[in-house]
């Protein structure tokens, strides 16, 4: 039977909780909806199990991303090197294991061996703008009729969730 990623994740968390020694379990999901669903499902499933089990404390953590950031997100497959690095994080401060929810075939045939360099994932226009910014100086000519709009965009740099690169008119 094929299960969704959140369902498979919940099943794996419960297996780990019931079969492995007590310890922390980190579950990474892609969005708030999946996180909320998984938290509620874990809570309900743990209630239905034996009462002598140690309590499962679920602590959801969300990372805020601006609307502009969400629009610019690009889904990319994880590389084999990144998968190995993430597995190394399990047990860094104590005994730990890494459970993956992809097949060995997917690892060998669908995942690139190494990460694609950031510079290769960006457009050449974006790279030129970034290099020009790094070299310093004002790279943008301000037209008089658009100064108010540009000042509003510049004010977004001060927002905590803002990303200055997402506001560059490329």
pLDDT at 73: 63
Residue matched to tokens 């919940």: 10
In angstroms, the CA 107 to CA 20 distance is: 25
**Nearest one of 110, 48, 104, 53 to 79, comparing CA atoms:** 110
Kindly list the domain boundaries of the chain, sorted by start residue. Answer: 1-63, 118-167
pLDDT tens for the chain, 170 residues: list them.
Answer: 667 878 888 998 888 888 888 778 888 787 788 889 999 999 888 888 877 777 788 888 887 766 666 666 666 678 999 888 888 777 777 777 787 778 888 899 999 999 877 777 777 777 777 776 676 555 556 677 777 887 777 776 665 555 445 544 54
**Nearest one of 1, 7, 2, 6 to 32, comparing CA atoms:** 6
């Amino acid at each position: 039977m094929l299960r969704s990623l959140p369902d498979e994740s919940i099943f794996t968390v419960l297996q780990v909780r019931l079969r492995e020694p007590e310890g922390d379990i980190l579950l990474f999901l892609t969005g708030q909806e999946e996180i909320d669903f998984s938290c509620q499902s874990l809570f309900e499933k743990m209630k239905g199990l034996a009462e002598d089990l140690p309590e499962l404390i679920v602590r959801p953590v969300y990372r805020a991303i601006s609307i502009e950031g969400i629009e610019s997100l690009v889904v990319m497959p994880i590389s084999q090197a990144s998968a190995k690095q993430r597995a190394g994080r399990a047990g860094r401060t104590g005994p730990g294991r890494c459970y993956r929810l992809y097949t060995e075939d997917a690892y060998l045939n669908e995942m690139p061996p190494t990460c694609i360099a950031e510079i290769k994932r960006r457009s050449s226009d974006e790279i030129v703008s970034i290099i020009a910014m790094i070299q310093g100086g004002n790279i943008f000519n301000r037209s008089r009729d658009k100064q108010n709009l540009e000042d509003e965009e510049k004010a977004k740099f001060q927002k905590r969730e803002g990303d200055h690169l997402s506001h560059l008119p490329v």
